[in-house]
Chains A and B, each alone.
Chain A
Amino acid sequence: MKSIILSSATRLLMPLMLLFSLFAFFRGHNEPGGGFIGGLIAASAFSLYAVAEGVEQARRVLRIDPRTLLGIGLLVGLISGLPSVFKSKAFMTGVWMEQTIPGLGKAGTPLLFDLGVFLVVVGFVLTVVFSLAES
């Protein structure tokens, strides 16, 4: 079931959606957005691609197994809690850089943690979507 309209639209939409997901992810700290929403948008992009081009193709574009993303996400989330431990504060206390990065603002472990959330959400949705589509 291939539709030319859908696949052409996807080709345009998908980069935009992925860009938007990154945008939502990075603005999350100050404006509505964040890892969870960003992850959902990114996952929607790949799901759309899977509808249009088939799961095989979507997996190839993603390059990495969504289940691996789950693991990486959890690991990133966990690691983000560790720097504070080495500064002898409680696990998961936010640790921030001294300088600001131009264009992005301050970076700190909460951002890393949010990245973990982002990856887990993408991994979750895509594991479910791909499994359902293939069964």
Chain B
Amino acid sequence: MLLAVCSIFALSIAAPFLHRIAKDYCAPLLALLPGSICFYFISLAPRIAEGKPVEEKWEWVPSLGANLTFYVEGLSLLFAILVTGIGTLIVIYAGGYFKGDAASGRFYSLLLLFMGAMLGIVISDNLFALFVFWELTSISSYLLIGYNHKDEESRSSALQALIVTGGGGLALLAGFVLLGMAAGSFEISAINQSGPEVVHHSLYPLVVIGVLVGAFTKSAQFPFHFWLPNAMAAPAPVSAYLHSATMVKAGVFLLARLHPSIADTPVFVWTVSIVGAMTMLLGAVMGAISTDMKRMLAYTTVSILGCLTLLLGVGVESALFAFGVLVLAHALYKGTLFLVAGTVEKLSGERNVKHLGGLFSRLPALGIAGSLAAMSMIGVPLFFGFVAKEAIYEAALKATNMSGLWIAAMVVSSALFVAVAILVGIKPFFGPEVRELTVKKAPALMLVGPLMLSVLGFAFFFLPDLLGKYLIHPSSAAVIGDANIIVLKSWHGLNAVLGLSVLTIAIGIVIYRFLPKLGSVSESSFAKDPFGAISVYERSLAGVLRFGQWQASTLQNGYLRKYILLTICVTTAFAGIVFILHTNWKSLHLTFDLRVHEAALIIVMVAAVAILVRASSRLTAIVALGVLGYAVALVFMLYGAPDLTMTQLCIETLSVVLFVFVLYRLPQFIRLSRRRTRLRDAIVASCVGALMACLVLVASSEPADSHLRQYYSTKAYEEAFGRNVVNVILVDFRALDTLGEITVLAVAAIGVFALLKLRPPADTEGAA
């Protein structure tokens, strides 16, 4: 399985080069890999249906609990097959969509990167590995939405998607860490077996918040739903793949996968159910009143995601069963409709449903695919969508709480779906011709995907036993256990559920008739920003930028003296507070048994400082500073630190050399500062000095940790073969620190060089 993920990543890197060689034949070649991985996963199905999950473990950072562990049970298998199977068709479709585009190698590369990451999410067992893949999908989604990077709208939509899903990702990481702490393991399979441990843990509320925010942002649940319709700025294959069939389902997938360990509380059930139901209704209404094909499809996707969330909230066995059926049915018909919409747009340049009609004679194959998918979406018997609709009604009927409310919400949104399906899948082909459109011929590669998916949506109706046994039932068993077996049936006979289905279609057709009269709604402010979620997003984004500007102009103001002042003040304040609070004043003992040479040294130092602060020329100041430096070196010498002495002497000497070079270039030495500023500086300096003096005093009056000293002095010779403990610490015990320090040194040198040497010459400044 690691091989599967890694081979997709490897192909992602190779794709641009392959594209340069194979040109338009590149896409079918690339599709071979996900295709064969898809068959590999299908071949695992019988084994998993027997209840034997497939596991694989690779150590990554074992000390942190982060490992590449893969664990494929029914739920993972269903998603893995969808990711690779639909991925294969999308890659082939992209071959037609980008035909003749020499730069599209980049597109395949990003698409495969996403595919690998998405596959990683659905088969990872380790929370950290899952999180890494999760973030990778956010990033690749950002790059794919912004694929037309010269378009302003694409870029801002991409950024919006990244900020919303990335922000949710941060919450998710926090949730994962807490979940791991609560359960005592970072492996999902182990967490799910830990029983009610997580639910009763004191961290549980935080775990739920983190995981839900992460899942809701990714799966575009209200109030984070707005990024998904905007993400339609992406090319059609991306919309069909990421923003309908796979990535947006990552959120609900995660909730389903963690369902056994975190779902068994009223908080979870109610939050998830209510958010799901609201999202479902909102998405359906918004979809029905939009006129842009891709936006309509995006909103209905939001609605389906809401429905999936609601099913997880309902949580009974038949709900989890319906979850699997709906995921599969939706991927098939929505994938098709996105591809159909994308093809129509590509060939005719039009994506407003009001202007489309009568295209069947010119695009017959596409028309068949579109109308098959639309029938499935409507829920007409003989299509797999019908089976899905029956399953969700069945689940809502069996819900323990508020069953009636959930059914009403489902019927309303499904009825709205009927209208959307007719508008997007049928009207463009069989409706009356609205305006003259020039339509190009469809490349064969662009027809494979839609036809295949829509035919499968038709064929699956007739294969309920097979699907139920190998895909759907294992997927719900993975979540809720094997208690009783629900058999997937295409036809339940005449019962309440069938009645609801008929009712749905009837209401849907009525809505379709009346929709044109609601045409003006799509222009209203409600339609653009329902419940103000977008404006909240925009205002908070503007707030962050304003804060950034404020702190940059206040703190990062470019005056070195202010940086130093601030740094010193903050350090002194914090160190001072800790020092005052935690010092045991009684243990301090001051001794004044100075020897003569020590007293002399102190007098020299004090005199040097006095001269330094009152100096009236730069040369005097430098000399005084030098005297101070050498005096400090002597202090080191007296207290037995020859290494420090040597270093200090060298540094002092080099400082003098540096001053010699710059002395004559500096402007005249005058006091520019005001009295008040100088007073402030004097106070700050005295505070720092006093603090340092006190710190040294305390440090020296505490009994030195002789253990440490002894450890180093013996180990230095025994293990590092050196008697100079200071140097042995520098180059052996703490070599990594030293490596960091010399790196800083190198960076500082480059900085100095850049400041002094890379200035534009003075005379060309005006021209530049």
Contacts and interface: CB of A to CB of B under 8 A. Distances in A.
Interface of A: 24, 28-37, 40-41, 43-44, 47-48, 51, 66-67, 70-71, 73-74, 77-78, 81, 91-92, 94, 96, 105-106, 108, 110-111, 113-114, 116-117, 120-121, 123-125, 127-129, 131-135
Contacts of A129: 654, 657-658, 661
Given A44-B653, A51-B657, A116-B742, A127 B724 contact: no
Interface string B727-766: 1101110011011001101101110110011000000000
Contacts of B738: 77, 113, 117
Contacts of A28: 724, 727
What 6 A-B pairs have minimum CB-CB distances, sorted nearest first? A40-B650, A32-B642, A29-B722, A34-B727, A30-B723, A127-B749
Given A34-B643, A128-B658, A70 B749 contact: yes
Contacts of A135: 665, 756-757
A33 B748 CA distance: 24
A91 B736 contact: yes
Contacts of B742: 73-74, 77, 116-117, 120-121
Contacts of B748: 124
Contact of A132 (B653, B658, B732): B658
B753 A124 contact: no
Specify which of A32, A35, A74 lies most central, judged by the most chain B CB atoms within 10 Å of its CB: A32
A105 B722 CA distance: 10
B721 A29 contact: yes
B757 A124 contact: no
A131 B724 contact: no
A108 B743 contact: no
A3 to B, nearest CB: 12
A132 B735 contact: no
A35 B731 contact: yes
A122 to B, nearest CB: 11
Contact of B650 (A41, A92, A124): A41
B643 to A, nearest CB: 5
Contact of B753 (A43, A108, A120, A127): A127
Given A34-B727, A117-B731, A44 B757 contact: no
Given A44-B653, A47-B654, A48-B657, A92 B750 contact: no
B651 interface: yes
Contacts of B726: 32, 34
Contacts of B643: 32-34, 37
A43 B728 contact: no
A44 B739 CA distance: 22
Contacts of A74: 742-743, 746
B654 A44 contact: yes
B721 A106 contact: yes
A110 B647 CA distance: 20
Contact of B745 (A37, A120, A134): A120
Most buried by A among B643, B720, B735, B748: B735
B654 A121 contact: no
Contacts of B653: 44
Given A33-B643, A81-B735, A124-B746, A131 B753 contact: yes
Contacts of B745: 70, 120-121, 124
A94 B650 contact: no
Contact of B720 (A47, A51, A110, A125): A110
Given A30-B722, A34-B724, A73 B746 contact: yes
Contact of A131 (B719, B722, B728, B756): B756
Given A74-B746, A81-B735, A123-B749, A24 B657 contact: no
A43 B749 CA distance: 14
Nearest to B644: A32
Contacts of A41: 650
Interface string B657-677: 110111001000000000000
B731 A31 contact: no
A93 to B, nearest CB: 9
Contacts of A132: 658, 661-662, 752, 756
Contacts of A33: 643, 646, 724, 727
A37 B647 contact: yes
A125 B650 CA distance: 11
11 contacts: A30-B724, A36-B647, A48-B657, A66-B749, A81-B739, A92-B735, A94-B735, A110-B722, A128-B753, A131-B753, A135-B756
Given A31-B723, A31-B724, A70-B749, 10 more contacts: A30-B723, A33-B724, A34-B731, A41-B650, A44-B653, A51-B657, A94-B735, A127-B752, A128-B658, A135-B665
Contact of B750 (A31, A67, A73, A134): A67
B646 A113 contact: no
A107 B721 CA distance: 10
B95 to A, nearest CB: 44
A81 B645 CA distance: 29
Interface in B252-294: none
A110 to B, nearest CB: 4
Given A30-B723, A33-B646, A121-B745, A77 B730 contact: no
A133 B738 CA distance: 29
B735 A110 contact: yes
Contact of A32 (B646, B753, B756): B646
A124 B749 contact: yes
Nearest to A111: B731
Contacts of A73: 742, 746
Contacts of B750: 67, 70, 127
Nearest to B735: A92
A16 to B, nearest CB: 15
Nearest to B719: A94
Nearest to A92: B735
Contacts of A36: 647, 730
B594 to A, nearest CB: 26
A134 B759 CA distance: 13
A18 B723 CA distance: 24
B29 to A, nearest CB: 39
B746 A123 contact: yes
B297 to A, nearest CB: 52
A111 B133 CA distance: 42
Nearest to B757: A131
